[in-house]
Structure 1
Amino acid sequence: MNTHSPLTRRLALQRAAATLALGGLGARTALAQKKYDVGASDSEVRLGMTMPYSGPGSAYGILGKVNEAYFAMINERGGIQGRKIKLITYDDQYSPPRTAEAVRRLVEQDEVLAVYGNLGSAPNAAIQRYMNTKKVPQILLSVGADRFNDPQGSPWTMPFMPSYIAEGRLYGRNIAQTLPKAKVAVLYQNDDFGKDLLKGLKSALAEKGGASVVAEASYELSDPTVDSQIIRLQASGADVFVNFSSARAAAQAIRKVYDIGWRPTQQYLSYVAAYVKATLEPAGLDKSKGILAMAFFKDPVQPRWAQDPGTKEFLAFMKKYAPQEDVSNAMAVFGYNLAQSMESVLRSAGDDLTRANVMKQATSFKGVALPMLLPGITLNNSATDFFPFSTLQLVQFNGSEFEPVGKTIAVK
């Protein structure tokens, strides 16, 4: 790891602080202070994760593969405080029943300390009550639905992605400011992800008045295409198209909008699908030019980051530990950020590797600047608001890459 990166400096300070705290104590006292729950010991920490390595969400399976590679690197370097990290991950095919089955196995048979990073609103909703009943951390989830930010009702569940409602509100505000009389058509995934984005968009438009949603169409993740939905949305006469879809459906929608001759004044794309490799290339780069989206991490193949230390560090990691994965797939970067965040949680937990302390550390980020986050964006959350992202960056696709539009924007 680059010894000059912000994350490395922060982790070094954590280790130094821990050393100083124990400096005046004898070895016997230090050992006595260690606390473990099931899944942790002097030599090992077991973590669990489910991912759609196959099925309709398989494009996101790279997240789990990068996490496996990252902790292989950590273990090669001696682990975390001398403990090796054992990441046990299963394919849930983005199917809630499969997620529930796999997570029960992780908790009851594999006896993991925590489950982290799991993808998707429906899969995570299927295990939310179980995890809170069992009091097992369900943290750093690859999801931004508000139902997972409920410190009172679900104190063992914590999202990692920015709030979908907040993101939707940002698009609504941008439309109201730039196209105050716009007629808006929305395609959305029929789950918490799509519904939360739509809720945020509508609430922001209603506050400003003028621009409004005149048509909306939903789709299921298992639908083979969204062609019929796009045709219906075009017929509404809308002049703004908002695409609240995951990568495969988003690409289909962008391509269909162009191919049927619909030329909205502006198009918006959720950060969930704002990837050149996974979404815009399949859609057609020429058909995607001008699309606006929100972003919070760097795309490693963009020329603007060629000399960036964090990007160089990421590319070196991928080359050595995940050579079979595509570094131009920006979802690998999200997986890298996810792994570094989990590492930070474990280092902050020190020798108190109880589930309660892991949960406490996961909800106590303060100004954590991961090397692959965009400038000005850091992790910050608290015991009363688990969402770790308080700012996002508006970006626009110029035909080859997303470029920033203005400064970072507060999401609340």
Structure 2
Amino acid sequence: MQLSPAIGAPATRAPAPVLALVLVLASALVLAGTAGCGTRLPESAFGASSATAGATGTTGTTAAGGGNPASDTGVTPAEIRLGVVTSLTSPVGSEVFGGPRYGAQAFFQALNDRGGLHGRTVKLVTCDDGGSGIGNQDCVHRLVDQSHVFAFVSGSVLDYAGAPYVSGKAVPDVGGQPIGTAYDRWPHLYGIYGSSAPRDGHAVGWNGTLYQSTEVFRFFRERLGASSAAVVAYNQADSARYAAQLRAGLEAEGYRVLMQTVDFALPNFQAVAAAVRADGSQLLFDAMDTRGNAALCRSLDEAGVHVTAKVTNVQNWSEAVRTDYRASPACRDALWATSSSLGYEDVGHPAVAAFRAAMARYYPEREPLLSAWELEGWAGAQWLTDAMDSCGAQLTRACVERFMNRPEPYDAHGLLLPASFVPQPPPSGPTRACLNAARWQDSAQGGRGGWVTQVESMTTTCFDVPQLPYTP
């Protein structure tokens, strides 16, 4: 999937959302877009549930190693070795990509504390690829060839250059964040949002074409009555490309669109604020990094310009908003985020409560850094665990992949919109798409501020929307 958020979802996960992250920063810049974070599945999919009951899928535990064979690479009678690759020291900082790893680590620590899976404990072998393709290939080779991991889980990397090697070695990679197009190209790779692309190792998507859906734009049109939007981008190729996708999706939903471009090195956000005021734009989307977004919000607040919603995506659904936007409280109070997963504040849901309890126990220092990506890292670990649990004592990669490729959609015990990996023809005509949404409210949590979910249920907040083709 293109480095863009759910807009641009190549009918993946049937089709699935694409996360927005086009990084270039000096030549590696982070772009955070926001459209179409949802799932495209038939109504019947939303009655589906996980195959394994319980909060973490640990049925059938036995005494450590009792009767378990050394059934596959990375599997001994008493241990399962898994790999996690993260761009932890990337040029854009550790928190951009670090969240999923912490979520997965918390999941497996909790699992091991309860006795592991069928008597086996899980050993996570982590690797920081530094945000480079060469570093990623090095991590992949070290984990596959030296550590002999059974599978990868909950990866979040800037450049998945090692994907062909992982797939060529038939190592399952489950629950990774789809930054780039690897999870819509290679078999044996299973992104957190699913995929309905052929994934035959040849062209990305359908002969090089992916699809974006428009449910985010439809949601704001129907929920807030919005009919106009501004899109702000840098004068940089990837940023401009993603901004064009945003514009296409907005215009497909009948919005009047104001396009604004700023210089990457010396952005004039005061001019953008003036243009947004003159246009009367109701929504504000962007193809910029957090630094640019924070600066834009400051300019809007200083100019007294208010929009109905400044729309971001799941990557920015985090506690960091509290500090990143401290200098622009009015703009922060207009922030909305969309996703294909539950919010980490939804502790009334048992799976979210289990996640929060584990994070508080094992990583209490991350309380001010909680994010939707951490929860999705936990969900990826849950997915792989349920797949391994289905194998019983005879754990093999082939058995895990049978679970991953089954026709029944999977929802990580309610954490995710139902997702699957059954190949489908290219999308044609409107498709059912669903999403979750939250708004930052400074008045929430007793005035401390926080994200407040804005939909009754993400499985029923659904729309029949078009799928727009694009080339990544």
TM-score tier after normalising by the smaller chain length: 0.7 to 0.9
**SS of aligned partner of 1:349:** coil
* Alpha-carbon distance in structure 2 between the residues aligned to 1:140 and 1:328: 21
Offset of residue 127 of structure 1: 1.8
- Identify if the C-alpha distance between structure 1 residues 231 and 162 changes in structure 2 by more than 3 Å, giving closer, same or farther: farther
Where does residue 381 of structure 1 map in the other structure? 420
- Identify if the C-alpha distance between structure 1 residues 133 and 198 changes in structure 2 by more than 3 Å, giving closer, same or farther: farther
The answer to whether structure 1 residue 137 and structure 2 residue 172 are counterparts is: yes
Where does residue 398 of structure 2 map in the other structure? 356
* Alpha-carbon distance in structure 1 between the residues aligned to 2:115 and 2:334: 46
Q: Which amino acid aligns with 2:361?
A: K
Give the counterpart of 2:383 among 341, 356, 373: 341
- CA contact under 8 A between 1:62 and 1:325: conserved in structure 2? no
* Alpha-carbon distance in structure 2 between the residues aligned to 1:341 and 1:327: 26
The answer to whether structure 1 residue 270 and structure 2 residue 313 are counterparts is: yes
The answer to whether structure 1 residue 201 and structure 2 residue 246 are counterparts is: yes
The answer to whether structure 1 residue 47 and structure 2 residue 92 are counterparts is: no
* Alpha-carbon distance in structure 1 between the residues aligned to 2:348 and 2:307: 36
Residues 230-379 of structure 1 aligned to structure 2 (within 5 Å): 230-231=269-270, 233-234=272-273, 237=276, 239=281, 240-245=283-288, 247=290, 250-259=293-302, 261-275=304-318, 277-284=319-326, 285-300=329-344, 302=345, 305=346, 308-326=349-367, 329-331=370-372, 332-364=374-406, 366=408, 368-370=410-412, 373=415, 377-379=416-418
Q: Which amino acid aligns with 1:182?
A: S
Where does residue 404 of structure 1 map in the other structure? 454
Q: Which amino acid aligns with 2:189?
A: T
* Alpha-carbon distance in structure 2 between the residues aligned to 1:35 and 1:198: 51
Q: Which amino acid aligns with 1:323?
A: P
> How many residues matched?
372
- CA contact under 8 A between 1:182 and 1:212: conserved in structure 2? yes
Instruction: State the Cα deviation string for residues 366-389 of structure 1 (Å, max 9, x = none).
Output: 45454673xxx543313326xxx9
**SS of aligned partner of 2:267:** helix
Offset of residue 110 of structure 1: 0.9
The answer to whether structure 1 residue 82 and structure 2 residue 132 are counterparts is: no
Offset of residue 344 of structure 1: 1.6
Q: Which amino acid aligns with 1:101?
A: D
Q: Percent identity?
A: 20
Offset of residue 202 of structure 1: 3.3
Offset of residue 98 of structure 1: 1.4
Tell me the TM-score normalised to structure 2 length. Answer: 0.65
* Alpha-carbon distance in structure 2 between the residues aligned to 1:342 and 1:89: 16
* Alpha-carbon distance in structure 1 between the residues aligned to 2:306 and 2:74: 54
* Alpha-carbon distance in structure 2 between the residues aligned to 1:94 and 1:260: 37
Offset of residue 111 of structure 1: 1.0
* Alpha-carbon distance in structure 2 between the residues aligned to 1:381 and 1:196: 28
The answer to whether structure 1 residue 169 and structure 2 residue 219 are counterparts is: no
* Alpha-carbon distance in structure 1 between the residues aligned to 2:404 and 2:293: 31
- Identify if the C-alpha distance between structure 1 residues 12 and 170 changes in structure 2 by more than 3 Å, giving closer, same or farther: closer
* Alpha-carbon distance in structure 2 between the residues aligned to 1:133 and 1:218: 42
* Alpha-carbon distance in structure 2 between the residues aligned to 1:361 and 1:196: 37
The structure whose RCO (Cα within 8 Å, separation 6+) is larger is: 2
Q: Which amino acid aligns with 1:292?
A: W
Tell me the TM-score normalised to structure 1 length. Answer: 0.74
- Identify if the C-alpha distance between structure 1 residues 273 and 109 changes in structure 2 by more than 3 Å, giving closer, same or farther: same
* Alpha-carbon distance in structure 2 between the residues aligned to 1:390 and 1:119: 25
Offset of residue 160 of structure 1: 0.7
The answer to whether structure 1 residue 9 and structure 2 residue 53 are counterparts is: yes
Q: How well do the aligned residues superpose, as a CA RMSD in angstroms? A: 4.0
- CA contact under 8 A between 1:70 and 1:336: conserved in structure 2? yes
Give the counterpart of 2:435 among 386, 392, 395: 392
Question: Unpaired segments of 5 or more residues in structure 2?
Answer: 1-48, 196-209, 425-431, 443-448, 466-472
